[in-house]
Structure 1
Amino acid sequence: MAITLPAHPAPNDVNPTILDFGVTLRPATGGPVLKVGRPGSRLRIAVSYPPMEPPVASRFISRLLEAKRTGHLIIKFPLLGLNQGSPGAPVIDGAGQAGTTLTLRGLTPNYRVKEGYWLSIIDASGQHYVHNARTTIAAGADGTVSFQIEPPLRKPFADGATVLLAQPMIEGFIDGGEWSWSTDTAHHTGLSFVLEEAS
């Protein structure tokens, strides 16, 4: 079961990174560089919080300790002030989708998916997968839409799998062999961690 953090305070600094598992081939003879794509590209974010008073910090630390052990932390994917509207209740429309085209149903009629919008898809086990919309397009009157995404889909989701567009989530493990926090002379605790999608 994924560990969630208290809603307040919210992070005050986030730094997303795309992990690309492709390979760039640079010929020793000076020929053209070749990019070879490989499946599995995913997101990692570094998250920092404002200084916390001990009663608040202790709850964060307790949950992060468990998340570090279990490898299952889930937090809101930072939209950084971007309002992605009211998409309705989108789900995967058709099993076995692959590549960079995503087809959904259940959206609010005429809802506009805009380039740069973030979304997370939830698989049958409850795991979230973060993707970014590459095209701007409006859903039809029937609430269906197809659009391009990055990175490519990492698994064939079931028909009807839930998609979060209004507020996507990112889920994974706390990166690194260790995790620490700091406390200053005013008894304020500083917390930060790096969360990487597990799959």
Structure 2
Amino acid sequence: MPLQLPSHPGPATMSIGMVRAANDLSPAFAGADQQIRRKGSRYALTFTMPSLSYTEAMPWMTDLAAEGDTVIMDVVQPGLVIPAGGDPRVLGGGQAGATLTIDGLDAGYAIRKGQFFSLITSAQRYLYRAAQAVTANASGVAVIPLQTMLRRPPADNDVVEIVQPKIEGYVRDFDDPEVQTDHEVVLTFTIRERR
């Protein structure tokens, strides 16, 4: 079962990385380069936490060092104010490709280009990013172009987390940090989606 990391304090920084599944093709003799999109591209976010006291850092260090468990962390989108705007759900199961159709939004609800959202399918979160800005129609339906292809076909009515997206994955690049002489700890870690 995934471990939910604390939402407070929020990270001091977040770096956005991508584990790419696309194939780059370069011809041996002349011709144009090509890139073939494939499902499987996913995100790897690196977080640096603000300076914490050792006692504040203890729960973080315990969860981040857990073996065999995935963790869930809020995705930071500084300066982006995201209104509630309804109860977004997947509209129609079995979707594939590089778009996701959702409903349950308020009419006219806007999703910005580059905005993250997460999708819960079969009890696992998948993080996606809108490739273009979209606005929900009068029925609350929006077709979101995705930066990456859908990795797993969602079911009808799967939950879409727009207001507070989350990443779920395994912790990478984390070693128990040094405790500084002032008893402060700075944690840096990467969460990479598993698939």
TM interval, short-chain normalised: over 0.9
- CA-based RMSD of the aligned residues comes to 1.5
Cross-structure match for 1:187: 183
**How far 1:166 sits from its partner (Å)?**
0.7
Deviations 1:124-166 (A, max 9, x none): 2x21111111222321222112121111111110000000001
Deviations 1:24-62 (A, max 9, x none): 122232332122222100100111111111210112112
TM-score, normalization: structure 1? 0.92
C-alpha contact (below 8 Å) 1:90/1:163 kept by paired residues? yes
The number of equivalent residue pairs is 195
Cross-structure match for 1:78: 76
C-alpha contact (below 8 Å) 2:7/2:73 kept by paired residues? no
1:38 maps to amino acid: R
C-alpha contact (below 8 Å) 2:92/2:155 kept by paired residues? yes
Cross-structure match for 1:158: 155
Identity over aligned pairs, percent:
30
Within a 5 Å distance, the mapping from 1:1-199 to structure 2 comes to 1-66=1-66, 69-124=67-122, 126-176=123-173, 179-199=175-195
1:128 maps to amino acid: R
Q: State the distance in 2 between where 1:29 and 1:136 align.
A: 39
> Structure 1 stretch 37-46 or stretch 128-137: which is displaced more?
128-137
Structure 1 gap segments, 5+ residues each: none
C-alpha contact (below 8 Å) 2:6/2:73 kept by paired residues? no
> Structure 1 stretch 6-15 or stretch 94-103: which is displaced more?
6-15
1:92 maps to amino acid: V
Q: State the distance in 2 between where 1:167 and 1:53 align.
A: 27
Q: State the distance in 2 between where 1:78 and 1:28 align.
A: 42
C-alpha contact (below 8 Å) 1:98/1:152 kept by paired residues? yes
Structure 2 gap segments, 5+ residues each: none
**How far 1:172 sits from its partner (Å)?**
0.1
C-alpha contact (below 8 Å) 2:38/2:149 kept by paired residues? no
C-alpha contact (below 8 Å) 1:45/1:195 kept by paired residues? yes
Q: State the distance in 2 between where 1:169 and 1:111 align.
A: 20
TM-score, normalization: structure 2? 0.93
C-alpha contact (below 8 Å) 1:116/1:134 kept by paired residues? yes
Q: Alignment partner of 1:172: what SS?
A: strand
